[in-house]
Structure 1
Amino acid sequence: MLSYSMLLLFLVAVAAVGSAESGSKDLDMEMKKVDKADVKLYYESLCPYCVKFHKRLDTVLKEIGSYINLKLYPYGNAERKDDNGKTVIICEHGEKECYGNKLHACAIDKLKDIKEAAYYITCMMNGTWGGDGSTDKDATKCGEQMKIDSKPIKECAKCKKGEELLEYYGKETEKVGIDGAPFVLINEEYFDLEDDLKKEICKVLKNPPTQCKTKELLDTLY
């Protein structure tokens, strides 16, 4: 029969083991949380190459999205100019593209969830309801399909907030000095658009998930 002191020591030991195991699990979870690839996409709403790339990105997000820290910059090859003290932005594909970029910027701002915003943006870019895509009609129809309230996004694109967001993305894009759109950085390194997006993201992860460990990817990862 255990004495009181021995029983107390046993209980302390059990508690210590449990605490260590819990701490180990917490540490593992924290490691997984921080093990993400930073992916930055600089693009513009009416660029056909950007439209195609967004489809590629959506596919990868659905597979390994929890391992990606995504940032979108809807501005592309636009230019900021000063007109008597006022900033004027001229987009590569005209005013329609500037408005599309504002819709995208406002979607990112209003939705908060970057993956949801990315899917919504891809839907708008591929929309045919308003013509070339990324119009109010596309925003509305994609909102209906995805159960997203498009009204505040459209209102934002039409007001000062939309202008401010577009100017912000312009400044951020100019810091990088892109040489065309789409332009992609993975952990601040240039991504060649001809390469496999998923494979390149998997390469930079310290603990690649099982989704990365296909036979083709194993040949390059290990």
Structure 2
Amino acid sequence: MRLWKALDMQTGFLLLVLTLWSSADVGQCVSSCTAAPSQWCSSVDSAVQCGVLKQCLEANFTRSHYHQDDRSVQLELYYESLCPGCRGFLTQMLFPTWTMLQDILSVTLVPYGNAKERFDGKKYVFTCQHGEEECLGNMIETCLLTLAGSSAFQVIYCMESSTDVIKSAEACLNLYQPTLKWASVVSCVDGDMGNKLMHLNALKTGALKPAHNYVPWVTINGEHTDVLQNKAMNALLPLVCSLYQGPKPDACGSSQRKPYRSYCHND
């Protein structure tokens, strides 16, 4: 981490991509890849064409943290799109807290939860706790997190707070990110990109320590404990304010929100 911070960002990122590429299967690079190595991760399309989508996503995830305030509270939410408890926490606790504290709170959403995956020889096949509709919702939100940029959280909040998560997706996208065409999201959901992105969610969820046994599952600054989980579910705003080491924003003087606690257990 310290070594990368000492490097020039552009040079450091290129070296990281080249390192990841050297460990990848060169045979994955298709003939349509005409970009120079420094441009492999310049867009999702370039990454797909050059067969390095997974490596570019991992590199971009690592790089994105260098520009954040080291004092910001890092919260990761592992959830399912149709889990009632997940929807309640995301819409009633997490999104309002992030809206007030986004200058000091960084949120990472990982839609997968209690799903299972298997590889059929060509692609990953997913089975979700709340059925095929939830798998579709997870995939839509996963693609949005990559394609919708800084507006992704707002679009997902709109979906999760709607009566029908799936049917509201296109309208929510048009409301919060009208420059992104719904056809692009559908292409991601139905194609290789979405399949690989969801596999990364599966890997990240499977690597949790301790392993999750319900969702919503919250980590704070990379850590999960029963104490942190309970505090996040009951009073997230004051928890974030207490953990932030810099000057407290005005919102930290706000009263606590009503506790919300509901889980979808991993059978």
TM-score, length basis structure 2 = 0.62
1:175 aligned residue: 207
Q: Secondary structure at the match of 1:97?
A: helix
Conserved in 2, the CA contact under 8 Å of 1:41 and 1:73?
yes
Alpha-carbon displacement from aligned partner over 1:176-212 (angstroms, at most 9, x marks no partner): 0211111011112332254201111111110222221
1:146 aligned residue: 176
Between structure 1 and structure 2, the one with the greater Rg is 1
Which residues of 2 match residues 4-153 of structure 1 at below 5 A?
Answer: 33-55=69-91, 56-83=93-120, 87-113=124-150, 116-128=151-163, 132-133=164-165, 135=166, 137-148=167-178, 149=180, 150-153=182-185
Work out which of the residue numbers 197, 213, 219 in structure 2 matches 1:185: 219
Work out which of the residue numbers 190, 197, 200 in structure 2 matches 1:158: 190
Whether 2:245 is the aligned partner of 1:206: answer yes
Give the whole-Å Cα distance in 1 for the aligned partners of 2:69 and 2:100.
16
Whether 2:235 is the aligned partner of 1:196: answer yes
Identity %: 28
Q: Secondary structure at the match of 1:195?
A: helix
Is the alpha carbon distance of 1:163 and 1:214 closer, same or farther for their aligned partners in structure 2, counting shifts above 3 Å? same
Which stretch of structure 1 is more off in the superposition, 93-102 or 80-89?
A: 80-89
Aligned residue pairs total 179
Is the alpha carbon distance of 1:53 and 1:194 closer, same or farther for their aligned partners in structure 2, counting shifts above 3 Å? closer
Cα root mean square deviation, aligned: 2.2
Conserved in 2, the CA contact under 8 Å of 1:103 and 1:157?
yes
Q: Secondary structure at the match of 1:40?
A: strand
Is the alpha carbon distance of 1:216 and 1:109 closer, same or farther for their aligned partners in structure 2, counting shifts above 3 Å? closer
Gaps of 5+ in 1: 1-31, 218-222
Give the whole-Å Cα distance in 2 for the aligned partners of 1:153 and 1:127.
19
Is the alpha carbon distance of 1:46 and 1:138 closer, same or farther for their aligned partners in structure 2, counting shifts above 3 Å? same
Gaps of 5+ in 2: 1-67, 258-267
Bigger relative contact order (CA 8 A; separation at least 6): 1
Give the whole-Å Cα distance in 2 for the aligned partners of 1:35 and 1:95.
40
- 1:60 to partner: Cα distance: 0.7
Alpha-carbon displacement from aligned partner over 1:31-80 (angstroms, at most 9, x marks no partner): x9332000000001111111111112110111001111211100010012
Is the alpha carbon distance of 1:145 and 1:216 closer, same or farther for their aligned partners in structure 2, counting shifts above 3 Å? closer
- 1:79 aligned partner, one-letter code: K
